[in-house]
Amino acid sequence: MQEYFLLFIGAIFVNNIVLAQYLGNCPFIGTSKESGVAIGMGAAVVFVATMAAAITWLVQAYILVPLGLGFLQTLAFILVIASLVQFVEMFLKKMVPPLYKSLGIFLPLITTNCAVMGIALICQREELDLKTTILFSFASGLGFMLALVLLAGIRERLAVRRLPIAMRGTPIGLVMAGLMSLAFFAFKGMI
Amino acid sequence: MILTSGLTLFGIGLAAAAILAVASKLLYVKEDPRIALIEDGLPGANCGGCGYPGCSGAAAAIVAGKAPASICIVADAEAKLVIAGIMGQEVIEREPELAIRDCSGGSRAADLFYYEGALDCVAAHQLYGGSKYCPDGCLGLGSCVRACPFQAIQMGPDNLPIIDPEACKACGKCVDTCPRGVIHVAGMSSRLLHLNEVNDCLAPCRQKCPGQINIPRYIEQIKAGDYDGAVMTIKERNPLLVTCGRVCPRPCETACRRQYVDDSVGINMLKRFVADRELNSGKHLPIPCAADTGKKAAIIGGGPAGLSCAYFLRRLGHSPTIFEAMPALGGQLRYGIPEYRLPKADLDWEIQGILDLGVDVHLNTKFGVDVTIDSLREQGFEAIFLGLGAWTASGMYTEGEDLDGVMGGIEFLTAHALGQGPDVGKRVIVVGGGNTAIDAARTSVRLGADVTLMYRRTRKEMPANPEEIVGAEEEGVNLKFLAAPARVIGDENGRAVALEYFEMELGEPDESGRRRPIKKEGSESTMEADLIIAAIGQRPDLACLYDDSDSCPLETTKWQTIVADENTFETAVPGVFTAGDVYTGPDLVISAIGDGRKAARSMHYYLTEGQIPVSKNAQKGMNPLSLFKEIDNVQHKDRAVMPHLCHGDERTCTFNEVEGALTEEQALAEADRCLRCGTVCYDQDMEAQLPLQEHAAQ
């Protein structure tokens, strides 16, 4: 039980997917201007990353490994994740319209998101079993959401501050992301 | 190996494709094809100005019938036609709206960009007190510039946002974003219907003006050389600016903060300057009116209140018809104010501008004789406005006042305006101290008489405009203060020949705040006169309201005025409204105009919604926060002097206009004296301030 807990906390804080592994920087900067948008995007990543890691684990375990095609991992995962996102979008639209409405516009953004892809690949590299994979990918998604919402909160306050013109928008966003990354570095000693 | 890899990837792809294909069949959501069509027709700005989340949301709402085809504020008329075509609807034109910034606070703030979270300057003032800078209005942060999806807002040179009316679509993003609430979105109708509220940014002059004119704004427009813009700003509150520019007693100037530095700003001179520019151009500026509603309203009485009411009803899209008992429109403006103060030609020009908007007129039509409330209702007038005025002169209540050669001030002026004036003879005595008394005295001077004006108190208590009193003196009117008529002495033919009067002295102040005159016993003396004019007061004549059986559906007071709700101006009879002298008793032109607009507002709501909203926050008295007694850091600048157009004999023997207008140079200098006040702030002279601060530091 304790190891699951450590894995969970570690994935959120210590090995934060954005701030420690530097994956998914594009949506991290792009969708962190308003906290409402950031929460929607974060929830969509949590949802898709968990499902993607589980499906790709199955693809790896039951198709690629038996056929000895481990080197096709990346290629196959891209294919699977892209199809999965499309499927999930259709499924939600039909079955859970309220969830589709809140996640709807963010789902296509995630189709080629390297954070989702990265989480799936890390699970394979660490050779986790299915249960741990689901837990780890869920926690990593939460880590992404946490970083995104924090940055959005900071950037909302920055938007009404007096900044040099050259620093407004993305530049100050990157500086803030860097400072947050340094701050998260402090979690390194936790586990 | 290569074959296996290829086949595997192909297999995965095929499986995914198959699953998606099946899923798209199974999970197909039937969407109305019109949603996609409409979404294509919408501009795709996703601005949210329609109130729906993005254009697809709006498209869905249109198809669901929750929104009209014209909901999109960005789409041009053509796109709206396309959308309406898809839906098979007609397009109803929406009134154009615009974002408006009504605060200039930030530019004068010593600590610009400093934000402590109080939502407006009045709140900040109450929290921190005393601030006469305005760090609390527009902060110059530029959040609105970034929020605008249409690049319609730019930061101006003074760090205040400037809104481009061409690009602005009134989506309201800037209103939501502004941390200080200094931007609002309004269309013409909502601006015309707005009554001052306590939370508005109101300079003292704007609070004091009975017409609620946005004075700081039009002075700023004059400063910027936008004279037509200034005229339009005034016309949102007062359609009779040529008139008011000449005759208004200027309550606003008594509230001006500049008076604590040197002298109040010549607000009315500036109004006259822009009004005369329009007048001299000979062309009325085009005045926008809302789309026709087809509602008819009857206006009884074509005086300032009636004209104002008709003008605002017309601009709000209704069809007013004025019924006037006299042979020409204007009421007291025409028949009570003499030619030398307000030339009839100028008044005609101004009234014509109102009629050209589409106001019908029936002259020589007496209310109670030719038309009644019931007959108007039968003719399809859903709302009726009574602006009857106050045309009856009050008597002196002295012996002999019904003799020949004694008449009321307003009767004298009206008779003269109609060209049926009596022979004034050689000596005229005018009794009274108001503007009507002065008008009667100065008119008599022009008719060749030797005039004495008799007033029972002193010059200080005279209600007439000070420069009118000076004008009367300059023209040779003898002022006899502290004298009250005792009795009129007639000759054997029943004609007045002299007035016996008492000397008076001032006692304790009465309820009006003026010291009460007390008769000195045994002080009677007589003064000879050919004509005695009693300009003591006026009251309405309500005889026309009573039918044959002597009953009146309206409630009236002992002062012969009509009773109405003080907020809505609706009388005891639903759908019948009133304003002007017949409601307030004799009052200023600008009060009649302002109340005429308020009545028009009520009639608009009565005609369109049936309910008249009354704001709890309506501004009535002066806001105590806005009243300062001292003004720091403002340099002395002399007030302009109104030039005179004619002198000497031309002035005292003809009815040519006496007062002139400012030159452009003088007007700009006068506009520059305005401190551009807000509720608690005003522009300080920074040059003046620096030495003072250095002085304080030593």
What letter does residue B368 receive in the DSSP assignment? T
Interchain CB contact of B115 with A (< 8 Å): yes
- pLDDT for position B94: 60
Give the model's confidence band at B64: pLDDT under 50 very low, under 70 low, under 90 confident, else very high: confident
The answer to whether the Cβ–Cβ distance between A64 and B8 falls below 8 Å is yes
Nearest to B16 among A68, A83, A90 (CB): A83
Instruction: Kindly tell me if the per-residue pLDDT of B112 is higher than 60.
Output: no
Q: Do the strands B515-519 and B496-509 form a parallel or antiparallel pair, or are they unpaired?
A: antiparallel
Which token pair is A58? 């199955």
Q: How many CB atoms lie within 10 A of CB B255?
A: 22
Q: Return the CATH architecture of domain B98-189.
A: 2-Layer Sandwich (3.30)
B431 neighbors B533 (Cβ within 8 angstroms): yes
d(CA B199, CA B189) in angstroms, rounded, equals 20
Q: Where are the domains of chain B?
A: 32-94, 98-189, 392-539
**Which residues, including other chains, have CB under 8 Å from residue A62's CB and lie 6 or more apart?**
none
d(CA A61, CA A65) in angstroms, rounded, equals 6
**Which residues, including other chains, have CB under 8 Å from residue B97's CB and lie 6 or more apart?**
B73, B170, B185, B186, B187, B190
Q: Which comes out higher in pLDDT, residue B648 or B137? A: B648
Q: Stretch A115-130: mean pLDDT, rounded?
A: 90
Q: Stretch B364-376: mean pLDDT, rounded?
A: 89
Give the model's confidence band at B117: pLDDT under 50 very low, under 70 low, under 90 confident, else very high: low
Under CATH, which number does the domain B392-539 receive? Answer: 3.50.50.60
**Alpha-carbon gap: B460 to the closest alpha carbon of chain A (Å):** 55
d(CA B590, CA B602) in angstroms, rounded, equals 18
Sheet holding B576-578, edge to edge: B360-362, B319-323, B296-300, B383-386, B576-578
Task: Give the ipTM of the model, two decimals please.
Answer: 0.79
Q: What is the CA radius of gyration of chain A?
A: 17
Give the model's confidence band at B319: pLDDT under 50 very low, under 70 low, under 90 confident, else very high: very high
Q: Where are the domains of chain A?
A: 16-184
Q: What three-state secondary structure class fits B371?
A: strand
Q: How many CB atoms lie within 10 A of CB B602?
A: 25
Correct CATH for B32-94 of 1.10.15.40, 3.20.20.370, 3.20.20.140, 3.10.450.40: 1.10.15.40
Measured N-to-C along each axis, helices B267-281 and B215-223 cross at an angle, to the nearest 10 degrees, of 60
The structure tokens 């010059």 sit at B459
Query: B583-633: per-residue pLDDT in tens?
Result: 988 888 999 999 999 999 999 999 988 889 998 888 888 888 888 888 877
Which of B236, B79, B96 minimizes the C-alpha distance to B166? B96
- pLDDT for position B88: 67
Per-window interface: A 50-109 vs B, CB < 8 A: 59, 63-64, 67-69, 72, 75-76, 79-80, 83, 86-87, 90-91, 93-95
- pLDDT for position A159: 78
Q: How many CB atoms lie within 10 A of CB B88?
A: 8
Nearest to A83 among B20, B27, B28 (CB): B20
Q: Which comes out higher in pLDDT, residue B562 or B102? A: B562
Q: Which residues of B touch A69 (CB under 8 A)?
A: 4-5, 8
Query: B487-530: per-residue pLDDT in tens?
Result: 888 888 888 888 988 888 888 887 777 788 888 888 888 888 88
Q: Do the strands B427-431 and B531-534 form a parallel or antiparallel pair, or are they unpaired?
A: parallel
Q: What's the pTM value of the predicted model, to 2 decimals?
A: 0.71
Interchain CB contact of A182 with B (< 8 Å): no
Q: What is the DSSP string of B182-218?
A: -EEEEEHHHHHHPPPBTTS---HHHHH-TT---HHHH
Measured N-to-C along each axis, helices A114-125 and A73-95 cross at an angle, to the nearest 10 degrees, of 120
Q: Which residues of B touch A68 (CB under 8 A)?
A: 4
Best probe of the A interface among B2, B3, B4, B8, by most A CBs < 10 A, is B8
The answer to whether the Cβ–Cβ distance between A160 and B27 falls below 8 Å is no
